Amino acid sequence: MSSRSWRRTTASVVGTLAVTLAVTATATPASANPAKATPLSVFPSNSLTVPDRGQLTGLRVALPTEGCGGAVSCGLVERLNQLDGFDLDPRLAVRFDAPVDAAAAAARITVEETRGRFRTGVDRVVYDPASNTVYAHPAKQLAPGTTYTLRVQGGPATKAFQDTFTTMSATDGLLDLTRQIQFGSKALKAVGVTPGLRVEGVFPAEGTSVGFLADGDAAPGLQSGPTAPVTQPVAKGTLVFGSYLAPNWLGPDVTIRQTPTRDLGPLPVSAVRLPFVAVLPPGKAPAGGWPTAVFGHGFGSSTQSVFLAAATNAASGIATIGTNVVGHGAGPDSTWVLTNGGTETRIPSYGRGVDQDDPGTTIGGTEGSSATGPAAALSSRDALRQTSLDISTLIRTLGGTDVDGDRKADLSGRDVTYFGQSFGGIYGTMLTGADRAVTRSVLNVPGGPVTEIARTSPTFRGLTTQALSQVGLLNSTDPGRFYFQEQMPLRGEGPVTATAPGALAIQDYLARSTWLTRPGSPETFAPLIDPKRVLVQVAFGDRTVPNPTSYTIVDAGNLWKRTSLYRNDRTANAANDPHAFLLRLNIPAALQGQAQVAAFLKGGEVVDPDGDGAVWETPIADPATIRVLNYPAPFLAP
């Protein structure tokens, strides 16, 4: 077969939706099949790349663009064609010239390092009988920037076949930008970034009430609603409010410019003033300042979560500090309203919300955290990377900070630790993998990739509906399924035969979206984390960040011995979504979980929050426990 015809055959399996439909329509009739099914093409394949010396892999993806199915889908392909390789968890496709038994065929498919010992089989198998194609994913996540052989072993019913493909340098972008911060490059000085916190307000926790006045619109001075009280459980200690400068790589469309991977990454485009809120323990700081932990808040939250997260740390002698995630904290003119002794003080809160959808309207709680316009397929990839970089900058501003004016440090910049909840566990995984300045890290209810969280979570599945609607792929009228049926199995489940019209097109679109966003996804960075530096907390039956997505992160980094499982199903809280347990201070699990956090941050000790009790498994007893959704009725698998 000529290289041109080989390329055309491969493209027919993995090309655009129109090409996929054409393949289906011209499938070889079963009556003409030979005794053994012959693989015709596989995906991924380096036949769908071109040489590029500017890339670490020496390659650049070159998917066909003709008939790519509309502006959004074509834009997705164009962005994939800027990458230097294929996904770390690619949607494999093997097309045969005759019908096959999906389970038997999948058992003969392996992915092996071309130069190395790594070898894995496949799971999450889907069979398309119309085109005789077996789709699957590697059973184990692949390494970035590595060439693999996709092999179909010969057997009683199938002939042998193999091809090679190379994975993209998925960690390179964030690592490059983190190094720019780490080494204090001239690029940072060029945009005016110098280390240091600007303290703008210091108040005793005792006797101070904290309120928040949200800026509801991007127009300066427009503030909406009355001052909202902020929950403040820390009774003693010191509350500190202020800001710091950080380099910003995001453009107005919430994307970071893609550069060839051999480059040192794009330069920052500006400096931004970011907020911080800190809670210091009661008493005088020790020499050098309080041990400091950075807290990463969740999706839709803000620095207000620091007050909840700091409850146990403050009693344990640990200062807690946090900033806002990109697109969070309401509008830029939002304000802290603090009252102590009858005196009211207002301090800027530096909200990072942006009015993206309709200028002049209310800013949503997460508006500005996802890419817009032609770049929408990038979703939150670059906002997550920027947030990781913001925290890397914050860590390097802490040393020597004098809060009370006695010319002595109140916050230590040495051995800084991190803990993050939900979204904070997601970008916290990226941060911990990319930046060794994080001494230890606790990742509470993280998951990845974000596309899988959205697909499998009852809380976020509507976001997938919106994305599929934009490309015309909704294939169901059932609101219970959020108007789409994708027929995608979870890890460990048996093969699925695609019967729903449009399901394969949805699978293809989601796989490509995940591939594009992998450089800003937590499981990409989990393998970079020394297990001794991390503790993962997972909540059984989490309906916001589903258990299988937590499994993905833990398995990618082989962090099973460092994973603690909160068995919400064994408590009086079993009927509720356990996702936010760490910050729900009215249930026992919150203080138990925070005690585990504080012990690990302070000295690296891993404690079981309930000892010999059945509510916490530390470490998790059986990894397969979180390979499934564990939803109680009526929450069913999508």
In a domain, 221, yes or no: yes
Q: Which two tokens stand for residue 107?
A: 């058992």
Q: Tell me what the mean pLDDT of segment 13-20 comes to.
A: 38
Residue 346 resides in a domain: yes
What are the tens digits of pLDDT across the range 56-113?
Answer: 999 999 999 887 777 778 889 999 999 999 999 999 999 999 999 999 999 999 999 9
pLDDT of residue 3: 38
Q: Is the pLDDT of residue 358 over 80?
A: no
- The predicted structure's pLDDT at residue 186: 78
Q: Go through 401-431 and write b for each residue having 16 or more CB atoms within 10 A of its CB, e for each that does not.
A: bebeeeeebbbbbeebbbbbbbbbbbbbbbb
Per-residue model confidence (pLDDT) at position 225: 58
Which is it for strands 208-213 and 270-280: parallel, antiparallel or unpaired? unpaired
Is residue 154 in some structural domain?
no
Contacts of 247 (CB under 8 A, 6+ apart): 180, 181, 187, 188, 191, 193, 268, 270, 271, 389, 393
Q: Which amino acid is at 169?
A: S
Rg value, the chain, Cα: 25
Return the pLDDT at 22. 32
User: What are 135's strand-pairing partners?
Assistant: 93, 126
Token pair listed for 453: 């969280």
Instruction: State whether the Cα torsion 430-434-438-440 is positive or negative.
Output: positive
CA distances 241 to 186, 190, 346, 395, Å, are 29, 27, 11, 16
203 backbone dihedrals φ, ψ, rounded to 5° = -140, 145
Q: Return the biggest CA–CA distance within the chain.
A: 89
Burial 14-48 (b: 16+ CB within 10 A, else e): bbbbebbeebeeebbeeeebeebbbbbbbbbbbbb
| Cα 119 from Cα 358, distance rounded (Å) | 50
Spatial contact of 321 and 276, defined as CB atoms under 8 Å apart:
yes
Residue 235 lies in a domain: yes
What does pTM read for this prediction?
A: 0.93
- CA atoms within 13 Å, Cβ hemisphere of 168: 30
* Average pLDDT over the chain, rounded to an integer: 91
Q: What is the structure's pLDDT at 72?
A: 77
| pLDDT for residue 362 | 80
Report how far residue 248's alpha carbon sits from residue 307's, in angstroms, rounded to the nearest whole number: 27
Residue 373 burial (CB < 10 Å; 0-12/13-18/19+)? Answer: exposed
Q: Is 318 exposed, middle or buried (0-12, 13-18, 19+ CB in 10 A)?
A: buried
pLDDT band at 634 (very low <50, low <70, confident <90, very high): low
What is the per-residue pLDDT for 218?
A: 43
Average pLDDT over residues 286-311: 97
pLDDT at 357: 76
Q: Is residue 388 part of a domain?
A: yes
More confident residue, 633 or 140: 140
Q: Is the pLDDT of residue 558 over 50?
A: yes
Identify whether 307 is part of a domain. Answer: yes
389 CB contacts (<8 Å, ≥6 apart)?
A: 174, 177, 178, 181, 246, 247, 249
- Domain for residue 624, yes or no? no
For every residue of 505-553, DSSP letters joined together read HHHHHHHHHHHHHGGG-HHHHGGGS-GGGEEEEEETT-SSS-HHHHHHH
What is residue 424's predicted lDDT score, i.e. its pLDDT?
Answer: 98
Q: Stretch 169-176: mean pLDDT, rounded?
A: 98
Considering the chain, what percentage of its residues have pLDDT values greater than 90?
82
Is the predicted pLDDT of residue 40 greater than 60, yes or no?
Answer: yes
Residues 257 and 285 sit within 8 Å (Cβ to Cβ):
no
CA separation for the pair 299, 315 (Å, rounded): 27
User: pLDDT category, 562, cuts 50, 70, 90?
Assistant: very high
Calculate mean pLDDT across residues 406-410.
Answer: 90
Hey, CA dihedral for 244, 390, 351, 442, is it positive or negative?
negative
Taking residues 437-448, report their average pLDDT: 98
**In this predicted structure, which of 175-189, 451-465, 602-616 has the lowest mean pLDDT?**
175-189
* Domain interval for residue 383: 172-414
Tokens describing residue 588 = 């026992």
Q: Which helix (H) or strand (E) holds 208?
A: strand 208-213
Q: pLDDT tens for residues 125-171? A: 999 999 999 999 999 999 999 999 999 999 999 999 999 999 999 99
pLDDT at 637 over 80: no
Q: Which helix (H) or strand (E) holds 318?
A: none
Question: How many domains in the chain?
Answer: 1
- The answer to whether residue 219 is domain-embedded is yes
The pLDDT value recorded for residue 194 is 85
Pairwise pLDDT comparison (375 vs 243), residue with the higher score? 243
- Show the CA angle centred on residue 635, arms to residues 629 and 637, nearest 5°: 50
Query: What's the confidence (pLDDT) of residue 490?
Result: 97
d(CA 330, CA 164): 48
Residue, of 635 and 87, whose pLDDT is higher = 87
Closest CA to 229 of 337, 373, 103: 337
pLDDT category at 5 given cuts 50, 70, 90 is: very low
Residue linked to tokens 């599929």: 468
Rounded Cα distance, 540 and 589, in Å = 12
Crossing angle between the packed helical segments 423-434 and 172-182, to the nearest 10 degrees: 70
pLDDT at residue 504 tops 50? yes
| Four-residue CA torsion sign, 532, 537, 541, 544 | negative
Would you tell me how many other CB atoms lie within 10 Å of the CB of residue 359?
10
